[in-house]
Amino acid sequence: MLEPLLESEKKEKILFFLYSHGEGYPREIARTFRFNLNTVQNQLQKLESHGILCSQLKGKVRIFSFNPRYPLRDELEALLKKAMMYLPENEVRTYYWPQIQPRRAGRPPDEHTLQGGISFALSNPWEKSRLDRFRPSQKISKKNSSANFDVSRKK
């Protein structure tokens, strides 16, 4: 969809990936789309040299994300959000929808696991009810509900 504007389909997919996930590293992006790793690295370096992306090292891995100082960042994200609304839903679910990691025993799930990525959850082009499966359900135990009932009855 944005291929004529961005000059390549790969650059478009990389930007969609970074928009939906917030950040990413070259091998993850190459593995997701089955692109050549060198191609992804070259595209990311071009975008970084133009100031659109920024990177930082976390251990031995270089993580790329949108540059917060880029003057047209808000407009670019708005454009990507609108363009993502016109993508086929199965493509969005395959490549850009957050993957839920299984919970490990003894460790409570963190916010990212439950909501599937804050940046994508806030910019979901579809109905909000589909995100409910990422949020924890609030269950009221029978003890608490009966205790509340008795307290309200005594008043």
Q: Does residue 131 fall inside a structural domain? A: no
Asked if residue 85 is part of any domain, the answer here is yes
Distance between CA 52 and CA 46 in Å, rounded? 9
- Report the domain count for the chain: 1
Q: Is residue 112 part of a domain?
A: no
Return the residue matching tokens 């407009």: 75
63 occurs within a structural domain: yes
Question: Nearest-CA neighbor of 18 among 79, 74, 80?
Answer: 80
Structural domain for 10, as ranges:
3-102
The answer to whether residue 122 is domain-embedded is: no
In a domain, 140, yes or no: no
Question: What is the pTM assigned to this prediction?
Answer: 0.62
Nearest to 136 by CA among 105, 118, 115, 106: 115
Q: Could you give the 3-state DSSP secondary structure of residue 62?
A: strand
Residue 124: inside a domain: no
pLDDT (tens digit per residue) in 7-50: 889 999 999 999 988 999 999 999 989 999 999 999 999 999 99
d(CA 48, CA 65): 9
What are the pLDDT digits (tens) for 41-98?
Answer: 999 999 999 999 999 999 999 999 999 999 999 999 999 888 888 888 878 777 877 6
CA pair distance 93, 99, nearest whole angstrom: 9
